[in-house]
Chains A and B, each alone.
Chain A
Amino acid sequence: MSVTTAPTGGISLQGNRLPRFAPYVVVVGAVALGALVTMLLGLSWVAAPVLAVIVVDIALPLWSRLVEGRRAAANRGVTCLVWTALGCTLVPLVWVLAEVVIKGAPGINAHLLTHDGTPYFDPKTLVTTAGGGAFHALVGTLMVTLCAVIISVPVGLMTAVYLVEYARGSWLARGVTLMVDVMTGIPSIVAGLFAVALFTLADPSLRMGIMGSVALSLLMIPTVVRSAEEMMRLVPNDLREAAYALGVPKWRTVLKVVLRTSLGGIITGVMLAVSRVIGETAPLLVAIGSIDETNWNPFSGRMETLPVFIMDNYTQGATTPDGYKWAWSGALLLIAIVMVLNLIARIIGKIFAPKTGR
């Protein structure tokens, strides 16, 4: 840490540096200080980490300024801020996950996964108990989302193909792009109301699972179009020309070269869209309502879905003894489904990704 004088006329490449353990010293000191101040002033425990972070963000750049100079201090300061931002992002995420697992995991059992919400009569004890199953909601969520994917993926993909491969900047393409952007901003409840209005033109009391799927696909399509468009634009023009030069017609080039090459990215985009809509509550509540029985048929009658199941149980939590527990378990199931779907999509994407290795 001593200043080395450069030989006269030479250039000095040396400068003072903080010791390598400096950041750790500051962090440990800041944590201790934060804890001490919190205890002395009798603040809530939340104050301790917040104080510690603030102290690190100020102390480390200050120390660096005194020893290392301005540039190094700026570097330390920005590094501290980036780490702080990372923490601010991660804390709620981990917190939510932990909360859901801690409160939801105890409720997950075979009964929950195999029974629906209908009250059942135990012939041994002669007692009728509330349903306590989420099977009907699980089935409903999977069926409704599956139908939404079946509707929105072809529509979204074909729109993207039109925009990227055929439109060539026509007024129609600009209109479609604008509409897609507008659709991205549709509040989900509006999508639900639209689906209801569409299907109840003939029969006002009509309720079926596919209505929810239509509402969800309205929310999915813009995401699918956008991501598929981006992915297809990334396919180099060289590949299209290579296919044309082999006498391959345009539609086959689009199908087998452009879509095939961008498939991995498109699947990821579809998964993002699914993750976005699978937790939607409002449109499903409006469009397909809620029910206690298991209904596999999306074309007839109401269906239960996990978000609505969570909401029902939570609102009844005060009266039903296990309401809160089931709500948290439903939340955990929902997160688990999204995670499993994401994993599957990643594996499929990996299989179809362009191979570059030797």
Chain B
Amino acid sequence: MAKSIDVSDVNIYYGDFLAVQGVNMSIRAGAVTAFIGPSGCGKSTFLRSLNRMHEVIPGARVEGKIVVDGQDLYGPGIDPVAVRRTVGMVFQRPNPFPTMSIYDNVLAGSRLNAKKIKKADADEIVERSLRGANLWQEVKDRLGKPGMGLSGGQQQRLCIARAIAVQPEILLMDEPCSALDPISTSAVEDLIHQLKDDYTIVIVTHNMQQAARVSDDTGFFNLKATGEPGHLVEFNPTKKMFANPDDPATEAYISGRFG
């Protein structure tokens, strides 16, 4: 069920400002792809363009082709809402819906779309998603309690459960662990390992150890200079990237000599 993403000649704008320039890459199906790079280099912007979340910001637009399953996401007649149902997203800060219980938060994708689900099916989706997000054991006795009452790490896993409950093909994660402590981070990383059997995962991270631990491929984004657009410097299997990168800038960044 996982799908690959083919990106060619993508330019991303905020109004007139070109934020990311000329990205080409092939994201493999059923693998974890990590994006690393200094702050402001356009990793998150690029990630958000993969499920058309970028255009939610006024004036933002994308040029170029992003092809999933033979269809260009930015082609004519493509419904951004349908794209987002296929390409799910987990955000930097955990954002469970404050008005909903844990149970309803997991079902938010269908509840907000007013889909009728039988109680038994709903229970099954909730249990499957929460088990998938490694949260079931912790919350199974208090599914009716508000989602905001969980700890930060639990909230983030709840958001992952919510994202996988709608059964997307691809899961985007925008620095999912940056607000979490090491134990919660480790729980989320274990989860990423399990999830990649079913989903194509793309993760943005500032933590290079994390990229090395969880990903199969890595993309390094960088700015040419301050005020210039960000661009993809190198895209390679993670092992090669961290052992023997093609580009000297990548090596400098990974070894901590700049950035």
Residues in chain A near residue B95, CB distance under 8 A = 236, 238-239, 241-242
- Give B92's nearest chain A residue, CB to CB: A238
- Give A236's nearest chain B residue, CB to CB: B95
A interface bracket (residues with beta carbon within 8 Å of B):
20 to 34
Residues in chain A near residue B163, CB distance under 8 A = 245-246
Tell me whether A239 and B97 are in contact (CB under 8 A).
yes
The reply on B38 being an interface residue by CB < 8 A is no
Tell me whether B98 and A356 are in contact (CB under 8 A).
yes
Residues in chain A near residue B111, CB distance under 8 A = 256
Binds B, one of A66-74, A247-255, A321-329: A247-255
- Give A353's nearest chain B residue, CB to CB: B99
Tell me whether A355 and B53 are in contact (CB under 8 A).
no
List which B134-171 residues lie within 8 A (CB) of chain A: 145-146, 148-149, 159, 162-163, 166
Partner of B58, one of A168, A238, A249: A168
Tell me whether A242 and B84 are in contact (CB under 8 A).
no
A257-B58 in contact given A244-B53, A356-B148, A358-B145 (Cβ < 8 Å): no
Residues in chain B near residue A355, CB distance under 8 A = 98-99, 101, 146, 148-149
Residues in chain A near residue B99, CB distance under 8 A = 260-261, 352, 354-355
Tell me whether A246 and B98 are in contact (CB under 8 A).
no
Residues in chain A near residue B166, CB distance under 8 A = 246-247
Tell me whether B109 and A248 are in contact (CB under 8 A).
yes
A238-B112 in contact given A245-B51, A245-B53, A355-B148 (Cβ < 8 Å): no
Q: Is the interface of A mostly helix, strand, loop or mixed?
A: helix
Residues in chain B near residue A256, CB distance under 8 A = 111-112
Residues in chain A near residue B93, CB distance under 8 A = 238
Residues in chain B near residue A253, CB distance under 8 A = 112
The reply on B243 being an interface residue by CB < 8 A is no
Tell me whether B91 and A247 are in contact (CB under 8 A).
no
Tell me whether A243 and B112 are in contact (CB under 8 A).
yes
Tell me whether B149 and A358 are in contact (CB under 8 A).
yes
Tell me whether A241 and B146 are in contact (CB under 8 A).
no
CA distance A188 to B91 in the complex (A): 49
Residues in chain B near residue A175, CB distance under 8 A = none
The reply on B32 being an interface residue by CB < 8 A is no
A245-B88 in contact given A260-B99, A352-B99 (Cβ < 8 Å): yes
Q: Is the interface of B mostly helix, strand, loop or mixed?
A: mixed
Tell me whether A242 and B159 are in contact (CB under 8 A).
yes
Residues in chain A near residue B84, CB distance under 8 A = 244-247
Tell me whether A248 and B88 are in contact (CB under 8 A).
no
The reply on B68 being an interface residue by CB < 8 A is no
The reply on B82 being an interface residue by CB < 8 A is yes
CA distance A240 to B81 in the complex (A): 13
CA distance A168 to B96 in the complex (A): 26
Tell me whether A247 and B82 are in contact (CB under 8 A).
yes
Residues in chain B near residue A356, CB distance under 8 A = 98, 146, 148-149
Tell me whether A247 and B149 are in contact (CB under 8 A).
no
Residues in chain A near residue B61, CB distance under 8 A = none
Instruction: Annotate B199-237 by CB proximity to A: 1 below 8 A, 0 otherwise.
Output: 000000000000000000000000000000000000000
Residues in chain A near residue B86, CB distance under 8 A = 247
Tell me whether A246 and B148 are in contact (CB under 8 A).
no
A246-B56 in contact given A236-B95, A239-B97, A358-B149 (Cβ < 8 Å): no
CA distance A253 to B82 in the complex (A): 15
Tell me whether B162 and A246 are in contact (CB under 8 A).
yes
- Give A247's nearest chain B residue, CB to CB: B85
The reply on A42 being an interface residue by CB < 8 A is no
Instruction: Annotate A122-135 by CB proximity to B: 1 below 8 A, 0 otherwise.
Output: 00000000000000
Residues in chain B near residue A252, CB distance under 8 A = 112-114
Residues in chain A near residue B73, CB distance under 8 A = none
CA distance A248 to B53 in the complex (A): 12
Partner of B81, one of A241, A248, A354: A248
- Give B95's nearest chain A residue, CB to CB: A238
The reply on B29 being an interface residue by CB < 8 A is no
The reply on A357 being an interface residue by CB < 8 A is yes
Taking the closest CB of chain B, its distance from the CB of A351, in whole angstroms, is 11
The reply on B254 being an interface residue by CB < 8 A is no
Partner of A249, one of B81, B145, B159, B162: B81
CA distance A260 to B100 in the complex (A): 10
Residues in chain B near residue A352, CB distance under 8 A = 99
The reply on B108 being an interface residue by CB < 8 A is yes
Instruction: Annotate A221-248 by CB proximity to B: 1 below 8 A, 0 otherwise.
Output: 0000000000000001011111111111
Residues in chain A near residue B56, CB distance under 8 A = 240-241, 244
Residues in chain B near residue A242, CB distance under 8 A = 91, 95-97, 108, 159, 162
CA distance A274 to B96 in the complex (A): 33
Taking the closest CB of chain B, its distance from the CB of A260, in whole angstroms, is 5
Q: A243-B108, A257-B112 are in contact. List 8 more A-B contacts (CB 8 A).
A: A241-B56, A242-B95, A244-B53, A246-B163, A247-B82, A247-B85, A249-B81, A355-B101
Nearest 3 A/B pairs, CB to CB: A247-B85, A354-B98, A355-B146
Query: What is B's interface to A at a CB cutoff of 8 Å?
Result: 51, 53, 56, 58, 81-82, 84-86, 88-89, 91, 93, 95-99, 101, 108-109, 111-114, 145-146, 148-149, 159, 162-163, 166
A-B contact pairs, 16 of them (CB 8 A): A238-B91, A239-B98, A242-B95, A242-B96, A243-B108, A244-B84, A246-B84, A247-B86, A247-B113, A247-B166, A248-B112, A252-B112, A354-B99, A356-B98, A356-B148, A356-B149
